[in-house]
Structure 1
Amino acid sequence: MDFLDEIVLTGLTVFGRHGVYAHEREEGQEFTIDLRLRLSLEQAAGSDDVADTVHYGELAERVAAVVAGEPVNLIETLAERIAAVALDDRRVQGVTVTVHKPHAPIPLEFADVAVTVHRTRAPETLEDITV
């Protein structure tokens, strides 16, 4: 099933201590996160009730906690963890996460380094559905 509806959150900037090098973990740096959630928004549009959609403010707080939390070596790993947080809401059928690391330790002038992952919810089987 294709979901054409999306919730998009861009530019969430959070201080974290991710990186391969010791100085990245000691000093830390800002990371910027972009999220694109794919889901049906039909019920929320009809009810006009925030309970029928993904509350993007609450999602932003959960994502920020991941970025500010346990350090990882790679932003690929960080992106995967953020995708898992977004997919915790069963209404979300797919997510695209981009993690920007604009202050990566590269000894050349550059604007940004980013990693993007695309994840989808695994199809449910009858065993996954509880009655």
Structure 2
Amino acid sequence: MTALDAITVRGIRARGRHGVLPAERELGQEFTVDVTLHLDTRQAAATDDLTRTVDYGELATRLAEVVSGEPVKLIETLAERLAQVCLSYERVEEVEVSVHKPAAPIPVPFDDVVVTIRRRRSCES
């Protein structure tokens, strides 16, 4: 198998209503998403053709729509949904998604809560 290249988009921000507590659902808060796509970019580089890679502007917009869309209780669930969006691009073989929830309702001082998942395209697709 050929080694895969990486495209990373960091700091995608969108307001969402994800969380277990009613106030989180009602008021919402800003979430930040980082994604790293693993794919072979050689054809895109050789042809200078956007259709042979991933349009990361379009991807960022789609991910922000998921964050601002249907609420879920767990950011693990949100991360899974975001990973599936990334894997919907046929050239993406693997993705790492980090969801940051810096305003999580934690009663002690903290900097950030981050859930990171890694998903690979299923061989059965």
1:72 maps to a residue whose letter is: V
2:69 maps to a residue whose letter is: G
Q: Report the RMSD for the aligned CA atoms in angstroms.
A: 1.0
1:52 maps to a residue whose letter is: R
Q: Contact 1:3 / 1:38 at 8 angstroms: preserved in 2?
A: no
1:81 maps to a residue whose letter is: R
What TM-score comes out, normalization by structure 1 length?
A: 0.92
Q: 3-state SS of the aligned residue for 2:31?
A: strand
CA–CA separation in structure 2 for the residues paired with 1:60 and 1:26: 25
2:78 maps to a residue whose letter is: L
Q: Does 1:67 align with 2:67?
A: yes
Q: Does 1:116 align with 2:116?
A: yes
Unaligned runs of 5+ in 2: none
Q: 3-state SS of the aligned residue for 1:118?
A: strand
CA–CA separation in structure 2 for the residues paired with 1:59 and 1:119: 16
Aligned length, in residue pairs: 125
Aligned-residue sequence identity (percent) comes to 58
Residue-by-residue CA offset, 1:57-114 (whole Å, 9 max, x unaligned): 0000110110000000000000000000000011100000000000000011100000
1:52 Cα deviation from its structure 2 partner: 1.2
CA–CA separation in structure 1 for the residues paired with 2:2 and 2:117: 18
Q: 3-state SS of the aligned residue for 1:35?
A: strand
CA–CA separation in structure 1 for the residues paired with 2:12 and 2:70: 18
1:3 Cα deviation from its structure 2 partner: 3.3
2:36 maps to a residue whose letter is: R
Query: CA 1:2–1:115 in 2, change beyond 3 Å: closer, same or farther?
Result: farther
2:31 maps to a residue whose letter is: F
Q: 3-state SS of the aligned residue for 1:110?
A: coil
